[in-house]
Amino acid sequence: MNVRIEHDTMGEIAVPADHLWGAQTQRSLEHFKIGTEKMPDALILAFAQLKKAASVANHNLNKLSAAKQAAIAQACDEIIAGQWADEFPLSLWQTGSGTQTNMNMNEVIAYRANQLTSETIHPNDDVNMSQSSNDTFPTAMHIAAYAEIQSSLLPVVAQMQAVMLQKQAQYQQLVKIGRTHLQDATPLTFGQEISGWEAMLSMSMHQINESAQHLLALAIGGTAVGTGLNAHPLFGAKVAQQLSVQTGYPFVSADNKFHALTSHDGLVYAHGAIKGLAANALKIANDIRLLASGPRSGIGELQLPANEPGSSIMPGKVNPTQAEALTMVSVQVMGNDAAIGFAASQGNFELNVYKPVIIYNFLQSVGLLTDALRSFNVNCLVGMEAIPSRMDELVQQSLMLVTALNPQIGYEKAAKIAKAAFVNNCSLKEAAIASGDVTPAQYEQWIDPLKMVNLQTSTTEGEETNGN
């Protein structure tokens, strides 16, 4: 392997000649051979956006020449475009401040920028001007987290909502039996059931979007401990302003840089809302796969798309695989939330040094949920169909229709009828008539599943509504 000799304050070190990184990146590669996890791509892109914005701010504050600024910005643009993806190889498991990744970025930008200008660009003095790893890394964390939420996760949730709203309208009058405690309850329509799922997604979107606003406040300008040493007093605000221009997101400089360096409660709060989405997704996926259980020996109220064979030994078996994948992702997100919460609690003195594991888990949660919800929506929800005949069959079999008799004959008599139907293995109607408390005509008048769902429908006088 061809090498070149680079140096830093620790001395000389051999670096692969065909790569752009420098001495500090190489030392990290050699000293942190831990695991397979790397710094997420979204964080690397966010870092490049930050370094570009910092170069603009430093130039505007008369601290960086136009030639250097232009070269740094071009190098950053190339990184953002994906041109130098192989130049960021460092392990996630490194220094807790992310210093080595910050220097990896500085070195790559400096090496490439030196190819673009005759001026000498230094990774620390120029690319990292007015900055510290302690404020750049948390700033990149916020940029990446906010961008991934807005550009990836929330649009997919909105697509899923749209499908649910269509299904809700389609099945608004399809009556089915409700279930509480895994036992039969009173009827509702399938549209009403879906509306509950859709409302979960709507609430999650609101909570995620609201909590993500805390990520717009950036640590940049705080430098080493929050005092802003070696940075112009306006540097943080100018970087945030430039980032808003570059990304389209309304970033601002954090009011309290001491808080921004030592605490990551904004990420904890935002991920808590993402965990809430995972909890809702798990509930929805489990409901759907249970309602589709069967097809002959389960509930069997839903028909799900058959995407692939479900068994290597049982011919013809089809499983609710999209639901299973989404529930596993949801469990992973909940585990990530525990890791993020604990890591964020470790902000000792002026700096939290668990930053890499926080952003790795955060971005993994966003990425996994984005992919899993998209897959579930396209490969399951869109093609999901109700089976009206099965729903009607189970409604008619349910003993909890007896609840409609409470206002007519009282709770005690209604309970005796339900118990008699169960013990004698007969229909609710047969047991009600046999009790002597209800006539056949009264039963037909009082036991109407559609009237029990409290569905607001407008019908002409004398018209009967068929719920199926």
Among all residues, which ones are annotated catalytic? 181, 311
The Cβ of residue 325 has, within 10 Å, a number of other Cβ atoms equal to: 18
Q: Is 152 annotated as a binding residue?
A: no
Whole-angstrom distance, CA of residue 411 vs CA of residue 143: 59
Q: Is 132 annotated as a binding residue?
A: yes
Q: Is 462 annotated as a binding residue?
A: no
The residue among 348, 324, 179, 328 whose CA lies nearest residue 262 is: 348
Q: Is 312 annotated as a binding residue?
A: yes
Whole-angstrom distance, CA of residue 76 vs CA of residue 55: 10
Q: Is 128 annotated as a binding residue?
A: no
Containing 385, the helix (H) or strand (E) segment is strand 385-386
* Residue entry with tokens 């892109």: 45
CA–CA distance from 214 to each of 8, 211, 269, 270, 425 (Å)?
A: 37, 6, 8, 8, 59
Q: Is 106 annotated as a binding residue?
A: no
Q: Is 352 annotated as a binding residue?
A: no
The Cβ of residue 415 has, within 10 Å, a number of other Cβ atoms equal to: 13
Q: Is 406 annotated as a binding residue?
A: no
Whole-angstrom distance, CA of residue 43 vs CA of residue 20: 19
User: Going by C-beta distance under 8 Å and a sequence separation of 6 or more, which residues neighbour residue 379?
Assistant: 305, 307, 322
Q: Is 307 annotated as a binding residue?
A: no
User: Going by C-beta distance under 8 Å and a sequence separation of 6 or more, which residues neighbour residue 260?
Assistant: 135, 138, 217, 218, 219, 222, 226, 254
Q: Is 389 annotated as a binding residue?
A: no
| Percentage helix, strand, coil for the chain under 3-state DSSP, each rounded to 5 | 60, 10, 30
Whole-angstrom distance, CA of residue 142 vs CA of residue 138: 6
∠ CA 400-405-406, rounded to 5°: 95
Q: Is 97 annotated as a binding residue?
A: yes
Contact call for residues 38 and 92 (beta carbons, < 8 A): yes
Q: Is 466 annotated as a binding residue?
A: no
Q: Is 130 annotated as a binding residue?
A: no
* Residue entry with tokens 């940029």: 143
Q: Is 204 annotated as a binding residue?
A: no
The residue among 411, 320, 348, 311 whose CA lies nearest residue 96 is: 348
Q: Is 180 annotated as a binding residue?
A: yes
The residue among 192, 243, 178 whose CA lies nearest residue 216 is: 243
Binding residues: 97-99, 122-125, 132-134, 180, 312, 317-319
Binding residues for substrate: 97-99, 122-125, 132-134, 180, 312, 317-319
